Structure 1
Amino acid sequence: MRVAIFGTTGAGKSTLLKDLKSLLDDSYIFIDENFESPYFKQAYDENSDDIQTINYKLDLWMLTDRMKTFKKYIDQKNIIYDRSLLDSMVFAETDHNYGRLNDVDYNVFKDYFLSCVVPNFYDKELKEFKYDLVIYLKVDEDTAIQRINKRHRNEEAKTNDKFWKSLCRNYETWYQFYKDVLPIMVIDSTNQDHLDYAKKIVDRINEFDNKNNKKDC
């Protein structure tokens, strides 16, 4: 089963992945987010005179890296992604809202994403390019920011709370779009215990796997 974790920074993705690793069998592999972009540190420097150019390059790099990773593991039967192709448009949207991306670059990025990436999720002939399940970790803005501040990651600490609030809202906006394209399980990660909802997700995964195993018989 191909699973994507979808949710803003501070939603609880790292904790969920840790729980899923302990609950699922060894047939599942887990793909962490890649922070090795040559633009990553520069993109979080809000005093940079070239911040819009750098963030456009970062958004393109991240989208490309996610596509390469997707293709690399395309034959893997059971896989869970920390972040996926779905997240790329959310971050580009937020960069644009926050002034990190100019209008022209944003429109070019969005046009490419909607024209060349999203259609893969619709095309019935491209089954290998689909996610079997998307887990949307929904969290309120204040809780997400509290978690971000608590873990003290350097690049995140340099970023104004306005960015994180915009990111949280944009995840909800794009969820409304993606829910008509992909099977999405919504999890309230603000109020629910993380282990409780991890078990619910595992039940959903096992249900899917059992159903597919019966088809193969």
Structure 2
Amino acid sequence: MILVLLGMYFSNVPPLMEILAPQVNRELGLLENLQNAVLVAIIVMMVVRLRRARETVERGFFGLIAAASVFILMEELDWGTHFWWALHGLDWQTRPVLNIHNQGENSDRFKFVGNLLLVVFFVILPWFRFAAHRVWVRFLQPSRWYLLTALAMVLLSELAHTLEETVPPEPNYLDNSMSEYRELFTYYVWALYFGALAFKREWPTRDAGAAAAG
């Protein structure tokens, strides 16, 4: 999918480029809204899982993921101002910036935290076989295949930046925003992981913990 989106943008075919990242505002394009759709999917999955939760910690765990996903979604939407300005035909230059992650150096801080979580969960945690007897490690531990997924994400991100540097499209609506491809891939990876936790893993109960310890 990411390769198709890259092909659309670097095709230099104006209609395809407009679909992916409109000149009026790239936030209204297919690339950004696919990110929003994946985040909405995560929220829906967590809400469905919450309805099945029986324990307080279980509700808190999936509720926290849902709340974090809502926050990230609203940040991506700039708390609704993108669509409000578009629907009312307002001048984009007058739109206030309400999101936090684009203020000052917050973007770099958010990226650092995001990259750190990716490394911890999808590069380090899959290899914690020495602690696999612990129910929480077993519950949270992703498949080692996620490591290949993370590698593919890095390679595709590098491909996007390389294409922009060597054969930049004209006009370049995503100038200095090639990281949007990586963001989409990142959200997709987390959606797969959270979906697996929600619907393919048994919640660690006290009895399971006692059995593992014994």
Structure 2 length normalisation: TM-score? Answer: 0.30
* More contact order relative to length (CA 8 Å, sep ≥ 6): 1
Higher Cα Rg: structure 1 or 2? Answer: 2
Pick the structure with more helix per residue.
Answer: 2
Structure with a larger share of its residues in strand: 1
What is the TM-score of this pair, normalised by structure 1? Answer: 0.30
